[in-house]
Amino acid sequence: MVHTSPFPHILETKQIMKHIKSGLKFWIIVAGVIFSIPLSQVLWYGGQEAIIWAKDLTKKVNYEVSEPFAKAEEPDKLEAKIEELKEDILNQLANCETGGVDEPNGYVKLDSNAVNSWGKYQWQRKSIQHWVKEFYDRDVNLQEAALIAWGLHEIPLDELTWKTLEVRSAEWYNCDKRLGLEKQVSLVKKISN
């Protein structure tokens, strides 16, 4: 037995609507693909010239890219920012170690282990001798160690201090804990690589 509807025009309308919806889905997908190509070029080429295909295939448009999509900074600028971060960390260490005295490079104090600490980073003789040997493969005497700690030697004090921080920030135990030096140095190392 064949089922017939008392309202055949309703069935026809439903079928027509079904065909319209499926056709509409197709055109929505096509339009989405056409309009997504320029967007993908904007995101992919970041700040360069892109061809906008949606309006006119031959029309070229220049555009500015907002900060989140901006290109990575040029290597020189990145290096400068890394050096700025290193300098900031070293300044934090110096202020922590010397308490902001007027002449931190000449500062000498008897440390809690009954050994003198010298200069703005409060280096001790044995530590300087160890790290100079480690990084520069050179033995230094007491006088040279003091000159290094005061920044008056051919071995750059900031460079030696930074290299030591990269390997063992706990060399400055109290300031490392107070300032989180290990985390800060780790972050700079990640950015540098």
pLDDT in tens, 141-167: 999 999 999 999 999 999 999 999 999
Same domain, 54 and 117: no
Question: Which tokens hold the place of 152?
Answer: 């008056």
- Domain-located, residue 26: yes
Rounded to whole angstroms, the Cα distance separating 28 from 68 reads: 29
Bridge partners of 51, per DSSP, are: 60
Domains of the chain: total: 2
Give the residue numbers spanning the domain of 44: 8-69
- Domain-located, residue 1: no
- Domain-located, residue 44: yes
- Domain-located, residue 3: no
- Domain-located, residue 92: yes
Which residue, 69, 88, 110, sits at the end of a domain? 69
pTM above 0.85, yes or no: no
Q: Nearest 10 degrees: CA dihedral of 185, 188, 189, 193?
A: 180
3-state SS, residue 98: helix
pLDDT in tens, 105-152: 889 999 888 999 999 999 999 999 999 999 999 999 999 999 999 999
